Amino acid sequence: MKWPNHGGQSESIKKLLDIQIDKELIDFSANLNPLGPPFWLKETLMNHYESVTRYPDPSYSKSSVAVANHEGVEQDSILLTNGGAEAIFLVAKFFEKGKALIVQPTFGEYERACKHYHIEVEDVLYEQTNGFNLPMQVIGEKLKEKDVIFLCRPNNPIGTVIAEKDLQLLVTEGKKTGTYIVVDEAFVDFLPDSTTSLSKWLAIYPNLILLRSLTKMYTIPGLRIGYLMAHPTVIHVLKNEQIPWSINSLVDAVVPKLLGDKGFVKDTKKWFLEQSESLYCDLSTLDFYLSPSQVNFYLLQDKKQQNRTEELYYFLVRHGILPRHTHNFKGLNGRFLRLAIRSKEENQRLLVVLQKWRMES
Ligand SMILES: Cc1ncc(COP(=O)(O)O)c(C=O)c1O
């Protein structure tokens, strides 16, 4: 079967599985914030409608200043991108024909981007038996041979967060060996305030490159906005590679307001904590394995029937719930499902369907 590469494709899944349901599936496969977008966004976009008749400011100065202030870094350390996806491809271009290490399972676009730019890729794996912790020893042994290591923190699809002390060891070592450490922080905004971005390290480690996305937290994947943070010399090179007007004028107009809406992020974190605590408790009681996630999605497997994940997938779809398959996540090979945390009512619906599965299987 040709599984789609990304989540959020309910119609193509229905077609693929030949399932006749008139109702929309509840989409647990895309890990977007269900509270978004912020209520004011629609009206603000309408108010900036006229901006679509003009070319955007090529340096996106208002948004760039807003991002730099938000992150506490200089403007020459950031580059706005067309979502995190463009940031990934720009970074890969920087290492064209080089050697990369990717810690898998993780977001598939690092590998795709590396292949696109003829980068030789070696994988190392997070192991469930090791609590999905970073395999520090193997990475340490391979680091000096590599130009770049791709890490995702929090990691998609597991939801785990690499410990700061481990990362510090890697960037410090990489600084000596000339190895760059790329950390994709697309989901960092969902973490509790005590676990922060690595942007504070940018001034110390010229070999650190951070990737960000605003599409997850603010539920704007169709609007497209992300950014890259790195040493000014790296940003300078990447800027020259970027296609002009990569950021559209509508999104350029709303970035300062999005980043200024601290209440929205605070409310999201509060909602997330409330939902995840009770949901995880109920799922564990039903005897499902959950990955030790700290963000708005997690891996799930039936502890009692670990080899029936595909049947569980079909069962959920037939009952109106769309999970994310894990066939194209290296090392997972379909053995788990990835589920997003959704609204209270939708999470409740998931629990009801899983209870039914438990009773019938
Ligand atoms: C880890 C990670 N990084 C980056 C992206 C790309 O997001 P976007 O291009 O919408 O900003 C995704 C999307 O799923 C992701 O999971």
Per-residue pLDDT tens for 299-313? 999 999 999 999 999
Give the Å distance between the CA of 304 and the centre of ligand 1: 32
Tell me the residue type at 64: S
> In this model, does residue 324 exceed pLDDT 90?
yes
Cross-sheet strand order for the sheet of 288-290: 288-290, 297-302, 337-340
Neighbour count for residue 278 (Cβ, 10 Å): 14
What global pTM score does this model have?
0.94
> In this model, does residue 117 exceed pLDDT 70?
yes
Q: Read off the pLDDT of each residue in 147-157 and give the average, rounded to a whole number.
A: 98
Q: Is any ligand 1 atom within 6 A of the Cβ of residue 29? A: no
Give the Å distance between the CA of 299 and the centre of ligand 1: 17
pLDDT given at position 8:
64
> In this model, does residue 101 exceed pLDDT 80?
yes
User: With pLDDT > 70 as the criterion, what percentage of the chain qualifies?
Assistant: 94
Mutate-to-test residue for ligand 1 from 29, 79, 156, 213, highest number of ligand atoms within 8 A of CB: 213
> In this model, does residue 24 exceed pLDDT 90?
no
> In this model, does residue 119 exceed pLDDT 90?
yes
Q: Is any ligand 1 atom within 6 A of the Cβ of residue 215? A: yes
Mutate-to-test residue for ligand 1 from 9, 88, 103, 109, highest number of ligand atoms within 8 A of CB: 109
Q: Is any ligand 1 atom within 6 A of the Cβ of residue 82? A: no
Q: Is any ligand 1 atom within 6 A of the Cβ of residue 105? A: no
- Domains of the chain from N-terminus onward: 10-30+263-360 (3.90.1150.10), 52-260 (3.40.640.10)
Give the Å distance between the CA of 238 and the centre of ligand 1: 19
Query: In the structure encoding, which two tokens stand for residue 100, read together?
Result: 């990369």
Q: Is any ligand 1 atom within 6 A of the Cβ of residue 85? A: yes
Q: Is any ligand 1 atom within 6 A of the Cβ of residue 107? A: yes
pLDDT in tens, 168-193: 999 999 999 999 999 999 999 999 88
Model confidence at 233, pLDDT cuts 50, 70, 90, reads very high
Give the Å distance between the CA of 286 and the centre of ligand 1: 31
pLDDT given at position 14:
66
pLDDT given at position 337:
98
pLDDT given at position 49:
97
Model confidence at 4, pLDDT cuts 50, 70, 90, reads low
Model confidence at 17, pLDDT cuts 50, 70, 90, reads low
Q: Read off the pLDDT of each residue in 84-108 and give the average, rounded to a whole number.
A: 98
